[in-house]
Structures are given as C-alpha cells and as structure tokens.
C-alpha cells in the first residue's frame, strides 16, 4: 500500500463516505419552491402593469344619509320637493312630495301609471330631461334627485338617467344625484 499523507487520507475518507439521501429525494418529490417564486413574481408584475392599463371611471354620486334631522318642526312645515326617479321595466316613474307625476310632467296623479313610458324597448331619455326641466322651473332652488331602479335594470340605464337629470345641455338641472336601492 502506498504511503499517504494524513491530508490525503482525510480527503479519501470524505470522498468515499456513504451519503444519506434527503427523504424528499427518496420519494422522488419535486421541489416546487423555485416555481412558486416565479409565479408570485409574475402575478405581481401582471397586477402592476394592469393597473396602468385599466381605465377606471368614477361617477360622482352621494348615497342618502340616515339620521335624525335637526329642527323637526321646520322640516314638517317645508318638506321640500324630494324628487325621486325610479327605473322599471315599463318605463320611468317620477315622484315627489306631492305624489306621482302623470305623463307630461305637469300634474300629479295616483295609481299605476308611468310618468315616461318606454319607446319600444328603449327608455326615452330626452323626455326625462324635459320632465326634469319642467320640475326645475317650478322648484328652482332644488338641486337633489334620488335615482333608483328595479334590481333587474342594467346599470348603464341608471347612469343614463343620472346624465339626463343633471343638465339639459343649456342649464344645470339636478346636479346632486343620490342613489337609492330599487324596490320591487
């Protein structure tokens, strides 16, 4: 046997030692940690870039507030207009403190009547603007309108109603639009 130095013998012992495998190596499992690192980085990258690409539109609206009004006696004497516009499958109902408006928006009526019935399958937005113009002529100080819709009405129609009530192109009608939950 050749003469080996102690350093050489230590090297041979280390290199010929039996290596015990990791339990995951015995079962043949894959290490998915690097894969998860890549996926997380990709998700963060996609979220960061999609935020810059998306066009987010905001509609300025205020929800009705629930609370006790101050000066209860004054509120009972002058209730205000309390204009409500409700979108239904049959058309648009316009109501106020005095009751439901009849077609033409000049007089108050009762019963099951649509203030502005649909034209075919479409809502009549110019008629709603004309109705709001007539109401604004009688109640010049009012700025609030509450818009509601049946649950099955598409949101685009609610936005169109809000646009029709805010201005007539020439004058500002009811700029402060409040949203209300639809009631069936």
Residues 165, 132: contact at Cβ < 8 Å? yes
CA separation for the pair 98, 83 (Å, rounded): 10
The domain that contains 161 carries what CATH number?
3.30.420.270
- pTM of the predicted model, to two decimals? 0.56
Note the pLDDT of residue 75: 47
Domain count, the chain: 1
Q: Is residue 47 part of a domain?
A: no
Q: What is the pLDDT of residue 42?
A: 93
Contact 173, 143 (CB under 8 A): no
What residues of the chain score a pLDDT lower than 70? 1, 24-25, 28, 51-64, 67-79, 182-184
Task: Determine the pLDDT at residue 3.
Answer: 87
* Residue range(s) defining the domain that contains residue 167: 75-179
Residue 138 is predicted with a pLDDT of 86
On whether residue 43 sits in a domain, the answer given is: no
Residue 159 lies inside a defined structural domain of this protein: yes
Per-residue confidence (pLDDT) for residue 36, from 0 to 100: 94
Residue 120 domain-assigned (yes or no): yes
Closest alpha carbon to 107 in 120, 118, 98:
98
């Amino acid at each position: 046997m050749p003469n080996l130095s102690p350093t050489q013998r230590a090297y041979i012992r280390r290199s010929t030692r039996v290596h015990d495998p990791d339990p995951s190596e015995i079962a043949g499992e894959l290490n998915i940690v690097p894969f998860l690192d890549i996926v997380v980085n990709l998700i963060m990258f996609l979220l960061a870039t999609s935020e810059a690409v998306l066009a987010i539109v905001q509609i300025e609206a205020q929800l009705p507030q629930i609370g006790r009004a101050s000066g209860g006696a004054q509120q009972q004497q002058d209730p205000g207009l309390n204009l409500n516009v409700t979108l239904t499958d049959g058309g648009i109902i316009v109501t106020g403190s005095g009751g439901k408006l009849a077609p033409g928006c000049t007089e108050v009526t009762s019963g099951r009547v649509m203030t502005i019935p649909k034209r075919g399958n479409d809502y009549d937005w110019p008629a709603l603007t004309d109705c709001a113009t007539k109401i604004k002529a009688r109640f010049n100080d009012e700025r609030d309108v509450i818009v509601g819709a049946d649950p099955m009405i598409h949101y685009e129609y609610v936005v169109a109603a809000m646009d029709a009530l805010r201005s007539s192109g020439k004058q500002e009608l009811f700029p402060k639009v409040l949203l209300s939950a639809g009631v069936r």
